[in-house]
Amino acid sequence: MEAGVEPPVCSDPREDWVRPPVSRPDFDARVEALLTRVYGSRVPRLDSVGTLYFDDQLVTISSAQIKLMELFVERFGEVVSRDELAERLNESAAPTRNSLDLHIMRLRRRLEGVNLAIRTAWGQGYVLEAPDA
């Protein structure tokens, strides 16, 4: 193949390809295909109006909790510290420990419908994950 030619569309999930020398568009297409193959829709997405998508399900998140959920989605599967979450809630005054706990409790309830959970990582923070993963 010649340089500058668009990479082929990957239609077979078992297909894996690269052309030497590897151009940036080829590399990006290969990475995208591999990520889709490995994760598929197993990574949550949050739109700008607060709808959370996971697998084939969706749930709406309150406007007060969108900031927290944005951080959880950005760091899906990783520990998010209480301090980072409190920073996201910080509007006019620092949130109290109880207000953050209340937001987490409400988010946990909302996420039950989309097979996601916020797990406590004791002494570290919280993790958004798929319980069956």
pLDDT in tens, 64-116: 789 999 999 999 989 999 999 988 887 545 567 788 899 999 999 999 888 89
Q: Is residue 1 part of a domain?
A: no
CB 85 within 8 A of CB 67: no
Would you say residue 27 lies in a domain? no
In a domain, 94, yes or no: yes
Provide the whole-model pTM: 0.67
**What is the number of domains present in the chain?**
1
Answer whether residue 78 is part of any domain.
yes
Distances (CA, A) of 9 to 3, 13, 86, 112: 16, 11, 43, 36
Q: How far apart are CA 43 and CA 26, in angstroms?
A: 23
| Residue 28 main-chain phi, psi, to 5 deg | -60, -40
Residue 58 sits in a domain whose CATH number is: 1.10.10.10
Q: Are 1 and 19 in contact (CB under 8 A)?
A: yes
Name the 3-class secondary structure at 4.
Answer: coil
Q: What is the pLDDT of residue 52?
A: 93
Query: Is 116 part of a structural domain of the chain?
Result: yes
Give 46's strand partners.
Answer: 52
Q: DSSP characters for 78-130? A: SEE-HHHHHHHH-SSSPPPHHHHHHHHHHHHHHHGGGT-EEEEETTTEEEEE-
Q: Which domain holds residue 80?
A: 45-129
25 belongs to a structural domain:
no
In a domain, 23, yes or no: no
Per-residue confidence (pLDDT) for residue 12, from 0 to 100:
65
pLDDT at position 39, please? 59
Asked whether residue 70 is assigned to any structural domain, the reply reads: yes
pLDDT band at residue 117 under the 50/70/90 scheme:
very high
- Residue 3, pLDDT score: 63
